[in-house]
């Protein structure tokens, strides 16, 4: 039978990949000695939930927490061919968590979609070019069924809005909305983001991210659950050009500040995870 496997990075709890692996290709028990190759790295399985075959076969799922190792020890390796990534790229780190949801109304973002689409300032131009090339290579050369056999972890730009002075109030004014629609942002399964915010621009369109202690926006991601019209695209285009920013859809291969291109992007349904 096939087992749904989630791989998490022990360093920050972020999802590295979600995949499906035949049960017979997994160990009967995880004891801390297993290793695997994923995302161009060698990892040790430091925790498995559940740890025994009869248990993960019973529920059809398995979560492996992994830690990078500097040098590959001579121990059992899980076959690399059995690891498939549902996404061609994810951010290499997640934000700090301030605490649990506690019943609050929040914008909930999946951990592997954090900064999947975001606004990037001029200082990130080189990082945009390098990352888009690397992601395109993954999509072209390592596609396997609906997923990929390799994944590109984006480590840059670490500060996508470095050198840009922008507040949540500026975002609201530039996008034709108000801060009345601001709420916290949370990572699914983890909690509320420290210094996080989420601004509703239109039905199914939100800008989210983090601010620093001076209330300056340091991350501005774009989260879509539906389509939007030319008015929203025009507002984004105006804000981007005024502030010298670009909207970057990392896995979609898009970088633009052009309202016409944005109209096509906002007017199309959100793309599936497996790209």
Show the tokens assigned to 165. Answer: 């002075």
How many residues does the structure list for the chain? 275
Return the DSSP state at 144: E
The predicted model scores a pTM of 0.79
Structure confidence at residue 83 (pLDDT): 67
- Interval 68-109: pLDDT, tens: 887 555 455 565 555 678 889 999 888 999 999 888 899 999
Give me the phi and psi of 171, to 5 degrees please.
-60, -45
Bridge partners (DSSP) of residue 97 are 193
Residue range 253-266: average pLDDT? 97
Per-residue pLDDT tens over the stretch 117-163: 999 999 999 999 999 999 999 999 998 877 888 889 899 999 999 99
b/e map of 142-165 (b: 16 or more CB within 10 Å)?
bbeeebbbbbbbbeebeebbeebe
Which pLDDT score is estimated for 131?
A: 97
Residue predicted with more confidence, 116 or 77: 116
């Amino acid at each position: 039978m096939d087992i749904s496997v989630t791989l998490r990075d022990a360093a920050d709890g972020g999802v590295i990949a979600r995949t499906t692996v035949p049960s017979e290709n997994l160990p009967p028990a995880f004891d801390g000695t297993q290793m695997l190759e994923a995302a161009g790295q060698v990892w040790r399985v430091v925790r498995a939930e559940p740890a025994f075959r009869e248990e993960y076969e019973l529920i059809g799922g398995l979560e492996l927490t992994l830690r990078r190792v500097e040098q590959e020890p001579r121990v059992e390796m899980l076959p690399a061919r059995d690891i498939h990534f549902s996404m061609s790229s994810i951010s290499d780190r997640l934000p700090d968590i301030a605490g649990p949801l506690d019943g609050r109304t929040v914008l909930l973002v999946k951990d592997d979609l954090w900064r999947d689409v975001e606004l990037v300032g001029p200082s990130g131009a080189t990082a945009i070019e390098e990352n888009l090339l690397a992601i395109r290579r993954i999509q072209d050369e390592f596609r396997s069924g609906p997923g990929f056999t390799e994944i590109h972890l984006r480590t840059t730009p670490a500060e996508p809005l470095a050198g840009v002075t922008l507040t949540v109030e500026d975002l609201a004014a530039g996008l034709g909305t108000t801060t009345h629609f601001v709420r916290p942002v949370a990572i699914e399964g983890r909690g509320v983001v420290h210094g996080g915010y989420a601004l509703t621009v239109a039905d199914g369109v939100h800008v989210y991210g983090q601010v620093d202690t001076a209330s300056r926006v340091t991350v501005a991601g774009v989260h879509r659950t539906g389509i939007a019209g030319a008015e929203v695209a025009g507002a984004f285009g105006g804000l981007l050009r005024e502030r010298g920013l670009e909207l970057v859809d990392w896995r979609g291969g898009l970088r633009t500040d052009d309202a016409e291109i944005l109209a096509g992007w906002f007017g199309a349904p959100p793309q599936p995870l497996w790209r």
